[in-house]
A and B are shown apart, each in its own frame.
Chain A
């Protein structure tokens, strides 16, 4: 049981490049979310999904797109990377009954130069 798997672990992008951060979970969780963590700001919600085909914006959605075509996968797309998107990105998932709370991936450290 792998839990929540994020790839890549590290990435360096040039300003203006696009990329996709991958997130996959094998726990059949309905709910999935993306967060970014910045020094002094804590973790902030980017986008979330309550099931396949359903997504919504969080606190800081600008510059990011998501889709949820399967229960297992929830990729985060950076459309045109900016230095302000330098951060650590975490994906998380939970069962809708929420008996165990959220499970987090190990994170992707992204640097935009």
Chain B
């Protein structure tokens, strides 16, 4: 069974600092890895998708890396802003269309 772990579970940073969020998964046989953002009481918004053949993806201030062999991904958010406060979820696609989620990194950016 694929298990996804996100560390740390929660963190607070002052505005302007870079955020580093970690995700690890137990089975390296994945098709892709997707990072989502979830605001309180809301749905999931896709941030970045990394295919299993890729090493990283970038979108604006966001950069995600993937090391499939070691079962790790890292999401970097540069120059954090209060609007970045949210829960960030990592999910891996594996098996027959199964998406396994971590429990999330709850981020608070302090103005």
Contact = CB atoms under 8 A, between A and B. Distances in A.
Q: Do A and B bind each other?
A: yes
Interface residues of B, number: 23
Interface in A19-66: 31, 33, 35, 40-45, 48, 50, 56, 58
Contacts of A58: 98
A106 B103 contact: no
Given A100-B49, A103-B46, A48 B103 contact: no
Nearest to B42: A106
Contacts of B25: none
A92 B46 CA distance: 11
Contacts of B96: 50, 56
Contacts, number: 56
Interface string A64-99: 000000000000000000000000001010000010
Contact of A42 (B31, B45, B98, B101): B101
Given A42-B104, A43-B89, A100 B99 contact: no
A102 to B, nearest CB: 6
